[in-house]
Amino acid sequence: MEIKKFHLSLILTNQCNLSCIYCYENNKSKKRMDVDVCKRILAKHLNRPEYDEIEIDFFGGEPFLEFATMKEVCEWVWSNTWKNKYIFFATTNGVLINREIKEWLRKNKNKFWVSLSLDGCRESHNINRSNSFDKIDLKFFKECWPEQTVKMTISKETVDHIYENITFIHSLGYNISGTNFAEGIDWENEKYVRIVTNELEKLCRYYMKHPEVKPVPLIHMAIHKCEDERQKVKWCGCGEHMAAYETDGTECPCTFITPMTFGEKVLHKIHDIDFHNHELFIDEPCFNNCYLDPVCTSCYGANLLSNGKINVRDKSKCALMKIRAVFSAALKAHMILKKPVDTPENRKSLIAIKKINDLYNN
């Protein structure tokens, strides 16, 4: 039986202690969420009969700027009884995790998980994230949450080090849950297409030589889904099985679509959107004409940022998606040859591999 989960994000602060070069949250302020606002929101969601589990994510800005609030709220929740199962998360740049915070996190590591943003080796990370590499205790995060993944962003300044940065993170013992290309860049530029192709080829060869390492989603796409019957469904639970609360308690569809990123005019425009109507979120030309549509992620906040429409995909990454598909196909073909098991997924994958190569590998 499928577990029904609701993803709840509390934006504790609009401030951040870093100035990452690719940050799209341009409306930062000194606003912070009051403890009582946090408690009111959590009390509302932790007794919801339609869900089995609530995933509670402390967000920002940098959420550990408000550690005192975070600590008080968690301990209040832990001291009470709720209908729903729940777990706490926080996404952090890692810089503020001092001795006091470490002690509290270590004590509660089984019920409070932390996801670290790490953009690769020292040089690339420092370029992207305000020279913060040496301020992060990487061993601490690995010690407390050995199964937790890290998140990585690729900027135009570090794109030519994709292979080096990803393999460096693997050398630390981490898997990578997401490798996002920064927003607001013309990734269709021939220079970037050439660089990404070269970097992903090296990365593909690395995974072929190291089958014990879990491949990053960048070239480990579920290409078999391209052969599934197409359905008009949203990519995520944005505004439906997911909500983010601003510092004043205002509900937003997700952590991307908030006042930190968008002005009142844009937010007002999406106020009346029915987030339960999946058809409103479908990019019809992509759905009808692109073979990769079933595996081409669509971030509705990124769409809104790039072209002002929730449903129209940000086309600046189309070329990159095709490159990713070619190397995902190559890696999947290698895996099947190494372990030729006849499964429905593998049969679909073999068809997808041929089609992807015919369409995009030229």
Name which of 207, 129, 122, 219 is nearest 161 in CA terms.
122
| pLDDT score recorded for residue 314 | 87
Second CATH level (architecture) for the domain 5-222: Alpha-Beta Barrel (3.20)
In this predicted structure, the answer to whether residue 269 has a pLDDT above a threshold of 90 is no
| pLDDT score recorded for residue 333 | 98
pLDDT tens column, 192-242: 999 999 999 999 999 999 999 999 999 999 999 999 999 999 999 999 999
Distances (CA, A) of 288 to 222, 231, 283: 19, 11, 9
5-11 sheet: strands from edge to edge: 176-181, 150-154, 112-117, 85-92, 53-59, 5-11, 242-245, 251-252
Phi and psi for 315 in degrees, rounded to 5? -80, 0
pLDDT tens column, 336-352: 999 999 999 999 999 99
pLDDT tens column, 79-98: 999 999 999 999 999 999 99
Phi and psi for 279 in degrees, rounded to 5? -65, -25
Please check whether residue 6 is in contact with residue 241, taking contact to mean a CB–CB distance below 8 angstroms.
yes
pLDDT tens column, 16-55: 999 999 999 888 889 999 999 999 999 999 999 899 999 9
Measured between alpha carbons, how far is 84 from 188 in angstroms, rounded to an integer?
Answer: 45
The mean pLDDT value of the chain amounts to: 95
| pLDDT score recorded for residue 135 | 97
8-state DSSP, 32: B
Please check whether residue 340 is in contact with residue 313, taking contact to mean a CB–CB distance below 8 angstroms.
no
Q: How many Cβ atoms sit within 10 Å of the Cβ of residue 83? A: 12
CA 288 to chain centre: 26
Instruction: List, in sequence order, every residue forming a beta bridge with 116; answer none if it has no partner.
Output: 92, 150
For residue 38 the two structure tokens come to 């946090």
Question: Using N-to-C axis directions, what is the helix angle for 162-171 and 190-209, rounded to 10°?
Answer: 30
* Token pair 């990053």: residue: 216
The model's pTM: 0.94
In one-letter notation, the amino acid at residue 1 is M
Phi and psi for 53 in degrees, rounded to 5? -145, 140
- Write out the DSSP string of 90-133: EEE-STT--HHHHHHHHHTTTTEEEEEE--SSHHHHHHHTTT-G
pLDDT tens column, 155-190: 999 999 999 999 999 999 999 988 999 998 999 999
Angle at 64 between CA 59 and CA 68, to 5 degrees: 110
| pLDDT score recorded for residue 272 | 86
Measured between alpha carbons, how far is 142 from 97 in angstroms, rounded to an integer?
Answer: 14
pLDDT tens column, 275-329: 999 999 999 999 999 999 999 988 999 999 998 999 999 888 999 999 999 999 9
| pLDDT score recorded for residue 27 | 87
The mean-pLDDT minimum among 110-114, 146-150, 209-213 falls in: 146-150
CA 319 to chain centre: 20
Angle at 165 between CA 162 and CA 168, to 5 degrees: 145
CA 82 to chain centre: 28
Q: What is the mean pLDDT of residues 108-126?
A: 97
Please check whether residue 185 is in contact with residue 314, taking contact to mean a CB–CB distance below 8 angstroms.
no
| pLDDT score recorded for residue 189 | 95
CA 201 to chain centre: 23
251-252/176-181 β-pairing: unpaired
The domain spans of the chain are 5-222
Q: What percent of the chain has pLDDT over 70?
A: 100
| pLDDT score recorded for residue 353 | 98
Measured between alpha carbons, how far is 171 from 150 in angstroms, rounded to an integer?
Answer: 13
| pLDDT score recorded for residue 298 | 87
